[in-house]
Amino acid sequence: MPSLTRPRDADVLRAELRRVATEGRVPVLFGGEVEGDVLRLSEFVGTRTALLRGLVVRASSGLGGASMVAGRPLSVADYRNAATITHDYDTPVLSEGIKSVLAVPVIVEGVPRVMLYGAYRSGAPVGGRAADLMVSAARRIGDELRIRDEVDRRLSMHETATALGATSERVREVHAELRRLASVAPTLRGDLTRLAERLVGGEDATVRLTARELDVLTQVALGCSNIVAAERLSLKTETVKSYLRSAAAKLGAHTRHEAVSKARRAGLLP
């Protein structure tokens, strides 16, 4: 699925084709994006017919397909009579009056992503300054695609981290509510406590907290003050403080925040 924040990759290809047309005076330029082993031509400068538009070029087929597989520029000076390529696309190419062609792949991380073609209607080969400009254009496109890929990768990592953070917070809220309900509903305490423990995978054998100590830590983990925790658990504020001090001592913690952190590392809290 395309990124909503990423510009169309075809736009950078179109811009580079126009630059080569202007600076290199190459009369016919076209290209497109590669997906898997298939190239679809989509961008054109100087074409006279619509026969190349939307043309699908497969790997190893024609000059472009051969260039995709080779991973390097390939050219023919006499397209009609070239014996080094397949002639699957003769009709659209020859209908443009094309005689010489240079195909240049854009390789990113070892994979062809875009193909550029430059062509003359005369018999002169596509070389010299025109070829250099096309190779430079391919390099710039490759650099741009690498940057866009990295931006997409980092955005994806950020979105994943954000989603996981939101999920973790929701789990903590559910865990705290289950323990709170268990503390005020004695008949359901066993079932609710087991459900809460399933969210954290059970308690670590090296640290043991009482149910009340864990109830208090659960509320503290949500950011509740001692007063709020007391109200939620139907306890006195001094009682909450006592449970919190006891839990912190068992965990080897010196502050309420350190107690929560160590409880999480011990697998007592989500």
**Strands in 37-110 per DSSP E:** 38-45, 56-58, 74-76, 100-108
For residue 32, the SS3 value is: strand
Q: Which residues contact 220 (CB under 8 A, 6 or more apart)?
A: 229, 244, 256, 259, 260
Look at residue 4 and tell me whether its pLDDT is greater than 80.
no
Q: Taking each helix axis from N to C terminus, what angle separates 211-221 and 128-184, rounded to the nearest 10 degrees?
A: 140
Mean pLDDT score, 191-200: 75
Q: Which residues contact 155 (CB under 8 A, 6 or more apart)?
A: 3, 5
Handedness of CA 104, 106, 112, 115 (dihedral sign): negative
Look at residue 1 and tell me whether its pLDDT is greater than 60.
no
Q: Which residues contact 223 (CB under 8 A, 6 or more apart)?
A: none
| 107-135 tens-digit pLDDT | 999 999 999 999 999 878 888 999 999 99
CATH number of the 9-154 domain: 3.30.450.40
Distance CA 119, CA 79 (A): 10
CB neighbours of residue 153 within 10 Å? 10
pTM above 0.85, yes or no: no
- Going by the DSSP 8-state scheme, the letter that residue 7 receives in this structure is P
Q: Taking each helix axis from N to C terminus, what angle separates 211-221 and 237-251, rounded to the nearest 10 degrees?
A: 100
| 207-236 tens-digit pLDDT | 788 989 999 998 998 888 999 899 989 899
For residue 11, the SS3 value is: helix
Distance CA 12, CA 78 (A): 29
Q: Return the HEC string of 117-160.
A: EEEECCCCCCCHHHHHHHHHHHHHHHHHHHHHHHHHHHHHHHHH
| 7-38 tens-digit pLDDT | 788 999 999 999 999 999 999 999 999 999 99
Distance CA 199, CA 233 (A): 20
How large is the C-alpha radius of gyration of the chain? 33
Mean pLDDT score, 155-163: 66
Q: Where exactly are the structural domains of the chain?
A: 9-154, 163-265
17 and 116 Cβ atoms separated by less than 8 Å: yes
Top CATH class of 163-265 equals mainly alpha
